[in-house]
Amino acid sequence: MRIDVVSLFPDFIDQAAAVGVVGRARERGLLTMQGWNPRDYAEGNYRRVDDRPFGGGPGMVMLIEPLRAALAAARAADPAPVRVIYMSPQGRPLTQAKVRELAALPRLLLLCGRYEGVDERFLQAEIDEELSIGDYVLSGGELAAAVVVDAVARLQDGALGDAESAVQDSFEGDGLLDCPHYTRPVEHDMGRVPDVLLSGNHAEIAKWRRQQSLVRTLERRPDLIDETALGKADRRLLAAWRAEQGG
């Protein structure tokens, strides 16, 4: 897969995608990336990439022409069709389902905003979709682009080793939050490892982990599951938990 990133700080993404799974995927040729800086395409001796907003108000807006030239150069760099995504607070929330869809494409182009954003005419003319990584104010779209790169890279065939794939599958599997994890020592002034995990009883351990995931998801992110859609076994685990809690 090829990912082009249009950003005033292309090195930022490159660094964020240089280590770990993403770095390895790039080394293995599973993922190629290239940054494109609109400033390299800005005219005039000030090489302007932004200007004041019509209608007044604070801040600056990214100019159309440098973006259009950078996007054209990126498109021309590879014959494969490209999905152009503007990382934006006005975008649809990024979900794992969307990540899976994007990971299957041959090419992505991620546009990162700065200042107050991008001239709307450019977005209307050139952008296929807008995606948001969450509802908070950021200084630029680069962190969001790095999130997409990481999530998509993990799904490239061969990016993860068998063990890592199993972890990814367990995370992705049923959309539940993760169960608690423990490692050595068994005893610690911060507490003791739950006995079930020391029992060697793999069926009980699997049940306990499932129960913990279910309870945590219901307690912390009820929006992630529809209790009515739970299977009989899951409903039993929740009932047992509630009985234990005297709930």
Ligand X SMILES: CC(C)(C)c1cccc(C(=O)NCC2(NC(=O)c3cccc4nocc34)CCCC2)c1
Shortest distance, CB of residue 64 to ligand X, whole angstroms?
A: 15
Catalytic entry in 27, 116, 128, 195: 116
User: Would you call 65 a catalytic residue per the annotation?
Assistant: no
Indicate the burial class of 159 (C-beta count within 10 angstroms; 0-12, 13-18, 19 or more): buried
CA distance 128 to 82: 9
Token pair, residue 40, equals 């390299």
Catalytic entry in 26, 75, 114, 154: 154
Shortest distance, CB of residue 144 to ligand X, whole angstroms?
A: 3
| Between 140 and 175, CB nearer to ligand X | 140
Number of residues that bind ligand X (CB under 6 A): 16
Interface mask (CB under 6 A) for ligand X, residues 85-104, using x and -? --xxx---------------
User: Would you call 116 a catalytic residue per the annotation?
Assistant: yes
| Between 152 and 214, CB nearer to ligand X | 152
CA distance 132 to 130: 7
Residue 81 near residue 2 (C-beta atoms within 8 A): no
| Between 132 and 213, CB nearer to ligand X | 132
Shortest distance, CB of residue 39 to ligand X, whole angstroms?
A: 16
| Between 147 and 237, CB nearer to ligand X | 147
User: Would you call 135 a catalytic residue per the annotation?
Assistant: no
Window of 66-74, 83-91, 162-170, 219-227 that interacts with ligand X by CB under 6 A: 83-91
For residue 192, the tally of other CB atoms under 10 A from its CB is 11
CA distance 151 to 143: 12
Shortest distance, CB of residue 16 to ligand X, whole angstroms?
A: 14
Strands 61-62 and 50-51, by their bridges, are antiparallel
| Between 53 and 89, CB nearer to ligand X | 89
Q: How far is CA 214 from the centre of its chain?
A: 23
Pick left, alpha or beta for residue 55 (phi over 0 → left; psi -120 to 50 → alpha; otherwise beta).
left
Residues 6+ apart with CB under 8 A from 159: 21, 24, 25, 28, 30, 31, 153
Q: How far is CA 206 from the centre of its chain?
A: 28
Closest-CB residue for ligand X? 144
Omega before 89 within 30 of 0, i.e. cis: no
Catalytic entry in 11, 27, 157, 169: 169
Site for ligand X in 103-162 (CB under 6 A): 113-114, 117, 132-138, 140-141, 144
User: Would you call 154 a catalytic residue per the annotation?
Assistant: yes
Shortest distance, CB of residue 120 to ligand X, whole angstroms?
A: 13
DSSP state of 227: G
Binding site for ligand X (CB under 6 A): 87-89, 113-114, 117, 132-138, 140-141, 144
Task: Enumerate the active-site residues.
Answer: 89, 116, 154, 169
